[in-house]
Amino acid sequence: MKKFATHSWATREALARHEPFDTYGAFRAVDGYHLPFGNRLPPRWRDQYIEDAAEVMFTVLSYRTPIAWVLRCGAVVIPNVKYSRTTSGHQALLYALRESAQGPLAIAAQEERQEARERATRRRQAAARGIPPDPAVATPAEELTRSLMRDGAGALDGSSDIVARIDDVLSRRVPVNSGEAAIYSPHYLERKQYIRDRQDAA
C-alpha cells in the first residue's frame, strides 16, 4: 500500500481517486467496508455505516474511526462530528473526496510542485556559481545558520547536507507546508543541533 505524508498533495490525490493509502501517522484509507472500527463514531453514524456496509466502496479512517466513506453510487458520506485536533486535521483533507483527480486539485498540486522544483533549482544554480543568496529570501538552512551564529553557537556543521535534504523534500511530491517538509524547518533543526551539542558536551 502506498504511504504518504499526511498533509501532502499525494494524499489528497489518493482521496480524490478513492485509492487506498497509508500515512506516517494515524490517517489512512482502505477499499470497502472496514471492520473492526473504533467506538468513537457516534451511535447515529455508526448505525449508518453498518447499514451502508454492502454499498461502501471506500473508507477513510483516523486512527480506527471511519470519518468518511464513499458508496458505490458515488455518494460521499462525511459525518459531522467533532474529534481531537489530530482527527480534525484529517477531516480538513476530506474535501478532496469530492474533487476530481484531474480538476482544480490536480492543477493546484502540480503548480505547487513546480514552484518547489524551481526554487530548488535556483538555489542549486546560485550555489554552483558562488552567488550569495538574497538575504530577503533565505533558505531554512541559511536561517538556521544565522540563528546559531547570532546565538553564539557558531556555524552549523553539515549545513550542505541539510540543504541537500531540503532540496530533496522540495523536489519530490511533497508540498512545502507538509509535515515532511516541516521536519527541516529552522526551529526543528536548531533544536536538534542543540540536543546534539549537549550530548557531545556530556
Residue 114: its pLDDT value, please? Answer: 77
Q: Provide CB contacts within 8 A for 180, sequence distance 6+.
A: 5, 8, 24, 169, 174
Give the pLDDT confidence score for residue 142 in this predicted structure. 47
Which ranges of 34-103 would DSSP assign to H, the alpha helix? 43-52, 85-91
Q: Which parts of the chain have pLDDT scores under 50?
A: 136-159
Q: Are 109 and 13 in contact (CB under 8 A)?
A: yes
Res 150: pLDDT:
46
Residue type present at position 37: F
pTM for the model stands at: 0.56
Which positions ≥6 away from 7 have C-beta within 8 Å? 89, 93, 175, 177, 178, 179
Q: Among candidates 180, 179, 154, which has minimal Cα distance to 165?
A: 180
Q: Cis ω on the peptide bond leading into residue 42 (within 30° of 0)?
A: no
- Give the CA diameter of the chain: 65
DSSP secondary-structure letter at 32? S
Q: What pLDDT is stored for residue 149 in this prediction? A: 42
Which strand (E) or helix (H) includes residue 21? strand 21-23
pLDDT in tens, 17-64: 999 999 999 999 999 998 877 778 898 999 999 999 999 999 999 998
| pLDDT score for 169 | 53
